Amino acid sequence: MAVLGLVTVCVVAARRPSSGIRPSRDPSVRALTSTFVRGVVGTAEPLRAGATSVRAVRSSDADAIEATIDDVVIGVMGWPVDMAARYRTAVRRRRAPTLMVITERDREVAIGVVALEPLPVTDSEPFHRTVRIGLWMGPQGRGKGHMGRAVRLLVELMIGNDISLLAETAPTNHAARHVLERAGMVETARRVVRLPDGSEVDGIVYERFAPRFARRPTDHQP
Ligand SMILES: CC(C)(COP(=O)(O)OP(=O)(O)OC[C@H]1O[C@@H](n2cnc3c(N)ncnc32)[C@H](O)[C@@H]1OP(=O)(O)O)[C@@H](O)C(=O)NCCC(=O)NCCS
């Protein structure tokens, strides 16, 4: 399975909310963000805040990542029931290079994931790189502040490298919304989204633009 398919998280629409701007048809242009993000992630040292560490995924994380995907995560994401096994295989085979793994500080075992999905750049904005973030915490790690700290660290890493952020979640997912808002992301749109299992749910779009790309929110209505 393709990496992009795997890291499709809360939503399946693979485009930025700035509707009307189409991804480039040139594969080498489309791949610019992906190449850049892999470079940032691949060279980043493990990040630490409080009781939380974040680092790039390793193939040895496969089993631990599978264990983070319980029925709650499957349900919220609208994933197929075999998604945990798919992630295990993809991680083991190094096919998900832009997953970031959350651990307890300086521990090895993955307890949660922030999936960075580089979105294709457009011909009109070839230097505006955007990453969609998806997040889930395994059952043992929830409610301990790990995701909040991890997302803040990663958002700052992305913004510091001139990468803008996009995330989508449900209006009822208060914990996820709180995590995103604490990381400086702001609501820019609401829309109905279709999940991988075919269900349609209300969604909130959150964005944070790298300063050099800051635009008026009205530019990003779907
Ligand atoms: C959503 C999720 C990622 C949060 O991870 P977590 O590690 O438990 O989150 P944290 O412990 O960092 O806490 C989240 C924050 O939300 C707050 N929060 C939790 N429930 C809340 C609620 N009902 N209303 C408002 N805030 C709430 C917490 O107080 C905390 O805020 P703080 O850091 O200011 O204290 C995790 O619950 C999860 O994986 N859920 C299932 C999958 C999912 O929903 N993924 C997100 C899809 S977009």
Ordered mean pLDDT values, 10 residues apiece, the chain (222 residues)? 40 39 70 82 89 96 98 96 97 94 95 93 76 96 98 95 93 97 96 92 94 59 42
- Exposed / middle / buried, residue 126 (Cβ in 10 Å: 0-12, 13-18, 19+): middle
Q: pTM of the predicted model, to two decimals?
A: 0.88
Ligand 1, residue 173: give the atom nearest the CA: 44
Res 94: pLDDT? 94
Res 37: pLDDT? 86
What domains can be seen in the chain, in order of their start residue? 27-220 (3.40.630.30)
Spacing, Cα 144 to ligand 1 middle (Å): 9
- What is the C-alpha to C-alpha distance for residues 165 and 32, in angstroms, rounded to an integer? 16
Res 120: pLDDT? 81
Res 214: pLDDT? 65
Ligand 1: residue whose CA is nearest its atom 22: 174
Closest Cα partner for 121 from 58, 164, 167, 70?
164
Ligand 1: residue whose CA is nearest its atom 35: 145
